[in-house]
Amino acid sequence: MNQYMYINDIEVAAPKQNGVSITDEPVWASNSGRSTTGKMIGDIVTWVTTISVTWPPLSFEEAKKIRDTIKNAGTFFSIKYHDFDTNTLVEKKVYASSLPRILSSVAPGIEQYDGIAVTFTEQGGE
């Protein structure tokens, strides 16, 4: 199986098909906001990328590897993912959201987690 996801250069399970959503988001200056008339004022200082990743159902070992890799990565860490728009491996310095998961099978030998998803937000400012 081809791997398309690396966290701190550690290969983890490939995301599910159509499981990577990439969003460009503006970062507003600290003095930005709404005026007393409701008009938005301020400046965009940069743009950052958020990468939302969802995995297919995974074994206990695969799910644990993702969780442990993220938890041990530190506050800001590197991810690499296959960007299908450019057909290249893209690297970003990011931090992670919470990491939900659903224990979908506890049958001996076929323990499985489902609903594993995380959003990585680019640190920015570089």
74-108 pLDDT, tens digit per residue, is: 999 999 987 777 888 889 999 999 887 777 777 77
- Distance of alpha carbon 53 from alpha carbon 43, whole angstroms: 29
HSE, CB side, 13 Å, CA atoms: give it for residue 72: 10
pLDDT at 1: 37
For the entire predicted model, the pTM comes to 0.82
Give me 32's structure tokens: 């930005």
pLDDT at 82: 78
- Distance of alpha carbon 60 from alpha carbon 45, whole angstroms: 42
Residue of 57 and 115 predicted with greater confidence: 57
39-52 pLDDT, tens digit per residue, is: 999 999 999 999 99
User: What residue spans define the domains of the chain?
Assistant: 5-122
5-46 pLDDT, tens digit per residue, is: 899 999 999 999 888 899 999 999 999 999 999 999 999 999
Going by DSSP bridges, is the β-strand pair 102-105/112-114 parallel, antiparallel, or unpaired? antiparallel
Q: How far apart are the first and last CA of the chain?
A: 34
